Structure 1
Amino acid sequence: MKAPNKKRKNRYFHYQKEILNTISEPASFINRNYRYVFVNSAFNTFYNKETSEIIGKTGADIFGKDDFESKIKPQLNNCLAGEPVFMQYEGELPGGEFKILKLNFYPHLKSTGKIDGIISTSTDITEQKRAENALRENEARLKELNATKDKLFSIIGHDLKGPLNNILGFSELIEEGYDKHSPEDIRHYNKLIYRLSLTVSDLLENLLTWSRAQRQKISVTPQNIALSYIIAKCFSVLEQNAIKKQIRLKNSVHPETIIFADEEMITTVIRNLISNAIKFTNRGGTITISTKNENGRVLIEISDTGIGISKEQLSHLFEPDENHTNLGTEGEKGTGLGLIICKDFIEKNDGKLSVSSKPGQGSVFTVSLPAEKHETHKVQ
């Protein structure tokens, strides 16, 4: 009686193998010792393994010993306990190609109801996951662009329109009542007009720069540049602003400090950071620029003795969809746009921007950029 039973079992297993061979996805039968008893032709093709290379072996030969022990084997144990398992695996296959797989493990029951192994199938979802990730990145980018658009409209509709209306208003007061106002009044109105004009000019410059960057009209051309020269150039542009508030600008950067970056972009960054520091520093304060060398990078620190930034404001400082800007120490207006440009430009130059600050204790903006790059010459 045993021979017919054995023959029946072999016939049954033969049918199972035939069924698995009709499946277009890699399929296999794994026994309770985690060893392959059967693999279909799709398995051979996908994993680049001949049947003779895999029968009697474990998944360690497919997924590597570490991944098999830590990721696959625990799930096989769950399946052998009677639970179908569906898992995602990411890693390199025997050919060295990185794949993302959906692995399905189904407990196989004998006629007695006892589990004698596992039927496993796998699906390559690498491209699907890449497409999903690309879609998520595009959605995040679209959200950022929408926030950018909203920010631009907010700036144009409020921050730009407001100062222009004030300029027109004060100009009208002077024009219509020139003979009625004292020289002191006219001087006061001119001072306000001048200050508002500077705000509008600064804002327009940032708007145009940022608009070009968003439309990918600005190309990054990094080169070795003397940082001290950039700072001196920015100081000369902003010197009058600092003098009016009796603020000392201190360049503590060594003349031989060289960074590898796009000169125009980094000039824009440094100018914006110094301008911000002037806005939020009280009369008689000091703004210092210094550097540190760290692991092939130059850390540029723009520190001030200003009013500082609260913890809540710090968390939103570089977000285009937030409006957490404050007036400067003498009523100077800001939109936060300059800092967003700074972050964007620095990242385009393989850099990072960070800030540390406490209310009443000033702020330190730190820019990390690649240090000088030396040309390599081939030996003839």
Structure 2
Amino acid sequence: MRKCIFLFSIFFSLHSADAQTAKADSLIRLLGAMKKDTQYVRLLNLISEELSDKIAEKSLEFASQGLELSDQLRFPKGKGMSLNNISWAYYRKGDYSKGFDFALQALHINDSIASLPQLAISYRNVGAIYNSQAKYRESMDYFRKEMHIHQQLNNQLGIGRSLNNISFSAHRGKFKDSALIYAYKALQHNSKLGDKYLIAFCLRTLGDIYMDDGDTDRSIDYFSASVAAARVAKSNFIIETSLYRLGKAYQQKKQWGKSIPYFEEAAKIAEELGAKGEQSTIYKLLSQSYNALGDYKNAYRTQSIHVALNDTLFEERSRARLAQMQVSFETEKKQAEINLLKKEDEIQKAKISDQRLYSILLLIVVGLVLALWLVSWRRNQFKQLVNKQLRQQKEALEQASYQKDKIFSILSHDLRTPISSLSNVLHLVEQQSLSEDAFAKIRAALNKQISSLNTTLDNLLLWSKNQMEGITDISATEVQVYDIAENNRHLLMTAASQKKIAINNDIPLSVRLYADIHHLDIMLRNLLLNAVKFTGEGGEVNIRFSETPDTGTISVADTGIGMTAEQLNKLFKINTHFTTAGTKNEKGAGLGLLLCKEFVEANKGSISVSSEVGIGSVFSVTLPKQKNG
């Protein structure tokens, strides 16, 4: 296989790397000699397509010109093309909210005029944005719709691109078998076509699959071949994404120095593309490599860039807007049916107008008799309603006060201390007042504080978001519980080993439950963190499983300090919940159990706890085995 990949790289290097750039330049020169008609619109969109994977901002500029001129010319086919290209440009820039908005507009227009080639592109754009929002099944459905149209049109390039997209979504959705099947189909199909961009894409997907499977050397071969192909295709997007994957692969091999050049080049290209989300990820990875090499100055610099970029991203708002736009689109499709029903209703109203007049007169007579009684009854109802609203407002204000107090408590106590400690140490390092030996002695304590700070911040952000917006992004699927438990067990082994605590995963490999995989991951992590925190040195934490025909129960049992009946009664309540230092004086904000309860209930499950002082505690999460209803 490595020999095959090497031959791919040699083949790509023999072709002109400037072909597509020259093509875009020549097309732009043609614009000056053309009349601004429908052919001018088509040329604008052709230029936009040519630049879409190289310079997203320029691609957006030409597509926007095409949209404006299409409106002036009343040229719906050109408008459909322009909307598709605008959607793709925003997707490449990482602005998924705008990308989804324009994709839906394009889908509506291209469907209404039966423009199959552009309709296929609209399906592709919607599928790509669903993929970016972790809605992988929906993403695969739209890519299959796209491929079906390409098959009708015998568009071999379109089929190759669809196969790439399906394999990519299948990989991200953890459908490993489907991902491998479609990736190799894509590689075979696109190799016959000789399209360098499509080959680079499927090589990158195969690299992703093997890296997730633990075969790092094989993944490096595929990513290197992908970069070589993408350079020939002049696809800055594939170059950038394959480069930073190469950096991650070398990080897995602990070859930190090798990873840095790939990250640096990837970050530069991501900046040119305007992809802030990927820039942020790359700088975070760069900081990890510099830190591992002991280059703390560059580690701090790149981490600062990551934080600054991350602050400008608003993924939660984008996801909320995507859902709103999707509902709007479905509503628009049904509007014709609603209008038809309104017309039928008007005809029916005309037929019974005489009967209504008679009924109205009769109702007036009856109404006069009941008027006094109705006035009295409504006054009483109004008073009851006002009182009820006042009670609800009082409860809401009390709840908001509890939440505000909790957030300020966390900010003033649980976050202030580790941040202050880190700030003092950094100041000493900058002033060169702290020797390497002294820094090494306090580094472990600082790492522990920072780890606790990260956990606290993650829980605080999740909990605050849930309080403001509710848990709306549930994507429940059938998940394998053993893998999630094992991943979290490994994640906490370092903290547990410091206290000589054994964590045992006794969940059978075959166990599956129906839940959101991310929610279940957060639940198990917080329960295990809680168990390790309150278990003394030399103790034990056991992850067990029991089941009924319809449900399964995951239990996290520890041999820790346990809780009193009074403490048990305070659990899972914002107005009475508390936080206690661990057996090694570990800090925590006390939000972990509140998050567990909220996520369990959002996934139609339940959580319970039993505990005995000095013996230990058992936290049990019960979830359905299959989708309910």
Distance 1:263 1:136 in 2: 38
Residue from 561, 576, 580 that aligns with 1:307: 561
Distance 1:241 1:279 in 2: 9
Aligned position for 1:178: 434
SS at match of 1:303: strand
Structure 2 counterparts to residues 6-21 of structure 1, below 5 A: none
For each residue in 1:98-131, what CA deviation from the matched residue of structure 2 results, as whole angstroms up to 9, or x when unmatched? xxxxxxxxxxxxxxxxxxxxxxx99898898688
Aligned position for 1:14: none
Greater CA radius of gyration, 1 or 2?
A: 1
* Amino acid across the alignment from 2:511: T
Which stretch shows the higher mean deviation, 259-268 or 165-174? 165-174
CA distance change for structure 1 residues 132 and 293 in 2, over 3 Å: closer, same or farther? farther
Contact 1:25-1:123 within 8 A present in 2 as well: no
CA distance change for structure 1 residues 324 and 208 in 2, over 3 Å: closer, same or farther? closer
Aligned position for 1:326: 580
Aligned position for 2:235: none
Distance 1:127 1:245 in 2: 62
Question: What is the number of equivalent residue pairs in this alignment?
Answer: 261
For each residue in 1:12-68, what CA deviation from the matched residue of structure 2 results, as whole angstroms up to 9, or x when unmatched? xxxxxxxx99752899xxxxxxxxxxxxxx9xxxxxxxxxxxxxxxxxxxxxxxxxx
Contact 1:25-1:122 within 8 A present in 2 as well: no
Distance 2:382 2:551 in 1: 37
Aligned position for 2:167: none
Aligned position for 2:444: 191
Aligned position for 1:269: 523
* Amino acid across the alignment from 1:238: L
SS at match of 1:273: helix
CA distance change for structure 1 residues 171 and 354 in 2, over 3 Å: closer, same or farther? same
Q: CA RMSD in A?
A: 3.2
- Find out whether 1:205 has 2:461 as its counterpart: no
TM-superposed deviation, 1:196: 0.9
TM-superposed deviation, 1:176: 4.8
Structure 2 counterparts to residues 1-380 of structure 1, below 5 A: 24=370, 136-137=391-392, 139-173=394-428, 176-179=432-435, 183=437, 185-216=438-469, 218-294=472-548, 296-322=550-576, 324-373=578-627
* Amino acid across the alignment from 1:253: I
TM-superposed deviation, 1:170: 3.9
CA distance change for structure 1 residues 265 and 136 in 2, over 3 Å: closer, same or farther? farther
Distance 2:488 2:381 in 1: 49
* Amino acid across the alignment from 1:250: N
Aligned position for 1:110: none
* Amino acid across the alignment from 2:415: L
For each residue in 1:304-340, what CA deviation from the matched residue of structure 2 results, as whole angstroms up to 9, or x when unmatched? 0111122222222222234631111111101111111
TM-superposed deviation, 1:277: 0.8
User: Percent identity between the aligned chains?
Assistant: 31
CA distance change for structure 1 residues 140 and 196 in 2, over 3 Å: closer, same or farther? same
For each residue in 1:145-178, what CA deviation from the matched residue of structure 2 results, as whole angstroms up to 9, or x when unmatched? 3311221121112211121112223444565533
For each residue in 1:313-372, what CA deviation from the matched residue of structure 2 results, as whole angstroms up to 9, or x when unmatched? 222222223463111111110111111111111111112222111221111111121123
SS at match of 1:315: helix
For each residue in 1:243-278, what CA deviation from the matched residue of structure 2 results, as whole angstroms up to 9, or x when unmatched? 222211111112222211111111111111101111
TM-superposed deviation, 1:295: 5.5
Can you give the 5+ residue segments of structure 1 that lack an aligned partner in the other structure? 1-19, 28-41, 43-120, 376-380
Distance 2:467 2:570 in 1: 20
CA distance change for structure 1 residues 187 and 323 in 2, over 3 Å: closer, same or farther? farther
Aligned position for 1:3: none
Distance 1:210 1:188 in 2: 35
Task: Pick the structure with more strand per residue.
Answer: 1
TM-superposed deviation, 1:140: 3.1
Distance 2:389 2:513 in 1: 33
TM-superposed deviation, 1:137: 4.9
* Amino acid across the alignment from 1:144: Q
Distance 1:133 1:354 in 2: 32
Task: Pick the structure with more helix per residue.
Answer: 2
SS at match of 2:370: coil
For each residue in 1:206-241, what CA deviation from the matched residue of structure 2 results, as whole angstroms up to 9, or x when unmatched? 122222222327411222111112111222222221
Contact 1:300-1:367 within 8 A present in 2 as well: yes
Distance 2:377 2:480 in 1: 57
Report the TM-score, using the length of structure 2 for normalisation. Answer: 0.38
Distance 1:257 1:131 in 2: 51
TM-superposed deviation, 1:198: 0.8
Which stretch shows the higher mean deviation, 347-356 or 135-144? 135-144
